[in-house]
Amino acid sequence: MESFGAIGTVLGCSAGIAVGGLVFAACKLGLLYQLFHKTETKSPRHGGESVAEVLRAHGVKYVFTLVGGHISPILVACEKLGIRIVDTRHEATAVFAADAVARLSGTVGIAAVTAGPGLTNTVTAVKNAQMAESPLLLMGGAAGTLLQGRGALQDIDQMSLFKPLCKFCASIRTIREIVPTVRKALAIAQSGTPGPVFIEFPIDTLYPYHLVSKEFGVKNPPKGLMGKIVSWYLNNHLMNLFAGAWETRDMSPLPVDIPQATDDQVQKCIELVSRAKKPVILLGSQATLPPTPADDISIEVFFGNDLGIPCFLGGMSRGMLGKDSPIHIRQNRRDALKEADVVLLAGTVCDFRLSYGRVLNRRSKIIAVNRDKSQLMKNSDMFWKPTIAIQGDAGSFLVRLSNGLKGHRCPEEWPQSLKAGDMTKENANRAKADEKTERHLNPLKVLHCVDELMAEDSIIVADGGDFVGSAAYIMRPRGPMRWLDPGAFGTLGVGGGFALGAKLCRPESEVWIVYGDGSLGYSVAEFDTFTRHKTPVIAVVGNDACWSQISREQVPILGSNVACGLAFTDYHIVTDGYGGKGYLVGREDEDRLSDIISQAQRETQEGKATLLNVLIGKTNFREGSISV
């Protein structure tokens, strides 16, 4: 009897496993879902419409793209719903433009590109967005769900490519997944430390049922058992793909999670700063992120409460103090940090830009605020130690700190002494701008002239090495969110995309691209985009026919200029060919440099993208700067 009982137990377990296996298979094949959700085989709707509806519900105004058949339904549906489609001449430009929109609008930037090479062309731009902490959604086409891994056109393992670069990656498998997946991706892009997210859309999830069934359905009645099994599987896959596709779903934005400093942490910082005699604030790009608008931080922290604490600005935070603030210190940062008794790293990271933390005085009290824990503590195990480390939003923290310090003011002699040193260095730089170069124009003089003539609402886009490095010292953005550079990745080629996104976000503003002649080669074709999409920008190109930032060190160290030489190319003629207006500016034009720049500004106001191809000579202004 016991053996019969054991047999019964085994059979019962086996039956349970079998039933469980059948239920799992039924779920996997979508059989249970199809019992309760209809497949509308006559509906002309397609998955691109679901994408567009979610984007519209999230306030998306622009989708940047380079068109491809895999993603056409998304683009057409977005256009029908009033979302502007902006097509570029390279997929990287589309992502750079989305990055700029994300930075300037406080929303998620959107780019859509086709499968395979369309997506691989975006890798550098996506990595740049990750390191710059820009929230953007990249949507990519893909081979059909049943054809992936079977040698379909442009079919590669795209998910493995983007998982190291993105906060969230998803591959749509049924149309009903589109709405919840896009909503989730948009929320994740903005939560915590912002960054890029990626969604892959197989082509059969985007086109309507009648086209997908024609392409992937069974065309001839099968013969034999295996043929009938395959036929059933294909038909079921198709029905499951569209099951419940057009049911009403919530499109609204999901909550965004942003880490904040605790009240106790803020109070400790208030006490530390209030006792400081020589405090310094180092403001990084992260301080410009939502939810606190950069304008509010500028007004409340630096003008309203008037704490008088000297500040060094980096990345996107340039311009937060306006053009001529007495507390904005631009020079001699290393010396100031040696003297400071309290240093506030507000979104600033101790990476190569701060010599990995070695420039910080070990006797200083250091307050570090960053959303990303790894960035917050970068190199703290070697060269520096935070007194207070806060994983939280830097902008919101600054407002709370400032409100807690109302009535307090930094001893005036401290910022005054730093400003005096600043002015001494600025005057020396200005004198260097008046020196004659061996040939062509002095690049420093050119940059000073542009800085003096550009409009007060100008946005400056930095794309280059040596010429742009000089511009960072000379050109002064007039307000918050008026400086765009690639960030920590140091990527060349951002100019065209950043300027495109900036001009769309701020159509009334002058948008200046400061190009090196090397970096211009990456996006000069986007002058065609500026023309077609009526986004007139102004580019000033420092043309010294050389990759000077590399050459400066390569030649004295290694004794060769190999691969560093370029030509004094007629970039102004290239611009004309793309429908813009180009100017060649050389030494013979030195006396009328201001007039030429003003003429370019007028051309831009009249709707034409312009480029100043400025032939420049060599100076020793950035001697000692390195590019590794």
Q: How deeply is 178 buried, as exposed, middle or buried, from its count of CB atoms within 10 A (0-12, 13-18, 19+)?
A: buried
Per the DSSP assignment, residues forming a β-bridge with 286 are none
Q: What is the average pLDDT value for the chain, to the nearest integer? A: 92
Residue 581's pLDDT is what?
A: 97
Long-range CB pairs of 234-240 (<8 Å, 24+ gap) are 234/146, 236/29, 236/30, 236/31, 236/34, 237/29, 237/145, 237/146, 238/209, 238/212, 238/213, 239/30, 239/34, 239/39, 240/29, 240/30, 240/31, 240/33, 240/34, 240/39, 240/174
Tens-place pLDDT, residues 467-509: 999 999 999 999 999 999 999 999 999 999 999 999 999 999 9
The amino acid at 238: L
Structural tokens at position 45: 């709707």
Average pLDDT of the residues in 219-239: 84
Residues 6+ apart with CB under 8 A from 595: none
The amino acid at 415: P
Tens-place pLDDT, residues 157-214: 999 999 999 999 999 999 999 999 999 999 999 999 999 999 999 999 999 999 999 8
Q: Is the pLDDT of residue 1 over 60?
A: no
Residues 6+ apart with CB under 8 A from 562: 554
Residue 226's pLDDT is what?
A: 85
Residue 310 CA to residue 281 CA, distance in Å, equals 6
Tens-place pLDDT, residues 247-292: 999 999 999 999 999 999 999 999 999 999 999 999 999 999 999 9
Closest CA to 284 of 378, 350, 366: 350
**What are residue 593's phi and psi, to 5 degrees?**
-60, -45
Cβ contact 500:527 at 8 Å: no
**What are residue 107's phi and psi, to 5 degrees?**
-115, -170
Residue 535's pLDDT is what?
A: 98
Structural tokens at position 273: 């700063």
Whether residue 291 has a cis bond before it, omega within 30° of 0: yes
Sign, CA dihedral 433-434-437-439, equals positive
Residue 403's pLDDT is what?
A: 92
DSSP reduced 3-state for 63: strand
Cβ contact 506:458 at 8 Å: no
Residue 318 CA to residue 30 CA, distance in Å, equals 53
DSSP 8-state class, residue 53? H
DSSP 8-state class, residue 390? E
Cβ contact 541:597 at 8 Å: no
> Which spans in 480-592 are helix H?
495-505, 517-523, 526-532, 548-558, 571-577
